[in-house]
Amino acid sequence: MRKELQNCIKKYLPENPNEPIIIALSGGVDSMVLFHVCSALHKKIVVAHVNHKQRLESNQEYEALRSLASSKKLPFEGYVFDSKIAGNFQDESRKKRRAFFISVAKKYNANKTFLGHHNDDQLETFLMRFIKGYSLQTLTGIEDSANDAGYTFIHPFLNVSKDTLLHFAKENNITFFEDSSNKSLDYTRNRIRNQLLPYLESENSGIKNTLNQFIEQFNDLNALLDAEAKAFLDTYNDGYTLEAFNFLNPLVKTRVLQLLLQKQTNYKHPSHKLIQTLIALLMSDSTTLQHPIGDDYTLLKEYNTFTIIKTPKVKDNIITIAGEGTYKFDEEHSYLVTHEKLDHIYINYCGLWYNEKVFPLYLRYRQDGDRIKLNYGTKKLKSLFIDKKIPPSQRASIILLANDEEVLWIPLLKMCKATEAKKEKILYIYEVKNVR
């Protein structure tokens, strides 16, 4: 049995024997066996222990583990919870433990932290996620190796049962502590461990093997879906083709949106409801739409493509033109206003009949109700942009020239207000590209 446990650990040890590893030592049978086996395989070990102060024995166990490390001449790092944790104790304490282990790894310049979770923990985690309705992407067990903030967390005993570890501890006289809180039914995990799993075993003595097979199949399925979704995202990059998306298998569609949300937003685990809402919008008859995703992000569906972007802020930049001269609108765009015709130097321009009432003019973005007079009549800018197939995501960024009554020029479309021929002077407004 010793050799089997050693083999579980050997493949994760650093190649350099002088590189330290962190052992997360809780004092339970799993971590004590882990410590025992690692001590025989690797010289550079740092012991890290968290005292949750939830039991009367916690302080005694803390001191016992510190003495154990001292007897082995190993560094000991302890963290004691010094205040009550608000909210979900299990979740918050898990975050605090992880932050502590990362701080220890930083201190000792160690990359790998070893934890003693075993196969029973694996099955409990899977069932807990299943009961809580986790998505297929997260309906997995504990990863044998996971990265967090650039540091690696190793669970080498995930295929080893707790009974095996108990048997090994007794055979080798390894002292460990029993956590009395594990019997409390206040926590979901304990109810699964002490009630649900025993009941399932009474119905099917091989239920643990069955669950392990399910976990393996879910992992394989997730790997397959990840590969299919990443291939789609890599193929179409930023403008994802709707026709190709709607041809995908429903599970692949879901994974595409999960990965896209994780890449583009702060939604690390998007809900099933959100994913289904986005799929329905993408499969709808609407050729263009903008759908908010929370307060900060937007789903853009523009003709035959879609993407997810950070919601743009409303732009309200207005530059007043009071006379001839050069006016800078932003870092990329400036406009020259003059009565001189400079066609051969500047390509994009608008000519307005020049009299004392032409000013003030304004350079600005689109506003509700904007119209422009064309040769065939007055047209709402909203309708004009639809006709010209300007994507909705770009419409708010289009620069316009206007007076107090109407839009006079749309530089992007090279469309200027229609006017009747007169003998008065012409005022020219030329678009100038700024050089950065």
Q: What is the CATH number of the domain that holds 38?
A: 3.40.50.620
Are 162 and 196 members of one domain?
Answer: yes
Q: Mean pLDDT lowest for which of 10-14, 45-49, 201-205, 298-302?
A: 298-302
- Spatial neighbors of 311 by CB under 8 A, at least 6 apart, are 292, 295, 296, 297, 298
Residue 362, number of CB atoms within 10 A of its CB:
15
pLDDT at 424: 65
Residue 142, number of CB atoms within 10 A of its CB:
18
Asked which of 168, 203, 238 is the last residue of a domain, the reply is 203
- Whether 229 maps to a domain, the answer reads yes
Query: 374 falls in which pLDDT band (50, 70, 90)?
Result: confident
- 111 residue type, one letter: N
- Is pLDDT at 184 greater than 90 in this prediction? no
Are 342 and 297 members of one domain?
Answer: no
**309 close to 393: Cβ distance less than 8 angstroms:** yes
- Whether 274 maps to a domain, the answer reads yes
Are 100 and 246 members of one domain?
Answer: no
Are 231 and 257 members of one domain?
Answer: yes
R_g of the chain, CA atoms, integer Å: 33
pLDDT at 356: 67
- Whether 178 maps to a domain, the answer reads yes
- Whether 367 maps to a domain, the answer reads yes
Cα-flanking dihedrals φ and ψ of residue 372, to 5°?
A: -140, 140
* Euclidean distance between CA atoms 388 and 383, whole angstroms: 9
* Euclidean distance between CA atoms 267 and 36, whole angstroms: 40
- Whether 208 maps to a domain, the answer reads no
- Is pLDDT at 103 greater than 90 in this prediction? yes
- Is pLDDT at 168 greater than 60 in this prediction? yes
- Whether 132 maps to a domain, the answer reads yes
**For the residues 323-347, what does the mean pLDDT come to?**
84
Query: 161 falls in which pLDDT band (50, 70, 90)?
Result: very high
Are 335 and 257 members of one domain?
Answer: no
pLDDT at 105: 95
- 409 residue type, one letter: W
- Is pLDDT at 145 greater than 50 in this prediction? yes
Model pLDDT for residues 28-80, shown as the tens digit of each residue: 999 999 999 999 998 899 999 999 887 788 899 999 999 999 999 999 999 98
**For the residues 237-246, what does the mean pLDDT come to?**
87
pLDDT at 212: 95
Share of residues in the chain with pLDDT > 70 (%)? 94
- Is pLDDT at 85 greater than 70 in this prediction? no
- Whether 40 maps to a domain, the answer reads yes
pLDDT at 351: 87
Closest CA to 75 of 148, 21, 26: 21
3-state secondary structure of 382: helix
For 88, the domain range is 2-203
* Euclidean distance between CA atoms 389 and 409, whole angstroms: 18
Are 404 and 280 members of one domain?
Answer: no
Are 194 and 61 members of one domain?
Answer: yes
pLDDT at 159: 95
**For the residues 8-37, what does the mean pLDDT come to?**
94
- Is pLDDT at 312 greater than 90 in this prediction? no
**Mean model confidence pLDDT for the chain:** 89
Query: 289 falls in which pLDDT band (50, 70, 90)?
Result: confident
- Whether 141 maps to a domain, the answer reads yes
Task: Please give the residue that has the higher pLDDT: either 8 or 84.
Answer: 8
Asked which of 203, 221, 239 is the last residue of a domain, the reply is 203
Are 49 and 162 members of one domain?
Answer: yes
Are 217 and 104 members of one domain?
Answer: no
Q: Mean pLDDT lowest for which of 11-20, 53-62, 253-262?
A: 53-62
CATH no. for residue 242?
3.30.465.60
Are 199 and 219 members of one domain?
Answer: no
* Calculated CA dihedral for residues 111, 227, 281, 244, nearest 10 degrees: 150
Count the domains in the chain.
3
Q: Check whether the bond before 250 is cis (ω within 30° of 0).
A: no
Task: Please give the residue that has the higher pLDDT: either 165 or 358.
Answer: 165
**For the residues 242-256, what does the mean pLDDT come to?**
95
pLDDT at 224: 97
- Is pLDDT at 221 greater than 90 in this prediction? yes
Asked which of 166, 184, 203 is the last residue of a domain, the reply is 203
pLDDT at 346: 64
**For the residues 388-405, what does the mean pLDDT come to?**
87
pLDDT at 2: 86
Are 112 and 190 members of one domain?
Answer: yes
Are 128 and 66 members of one domain?
Answer: yes
**Looking up tokens 């004392």, which residue turns up?**
356
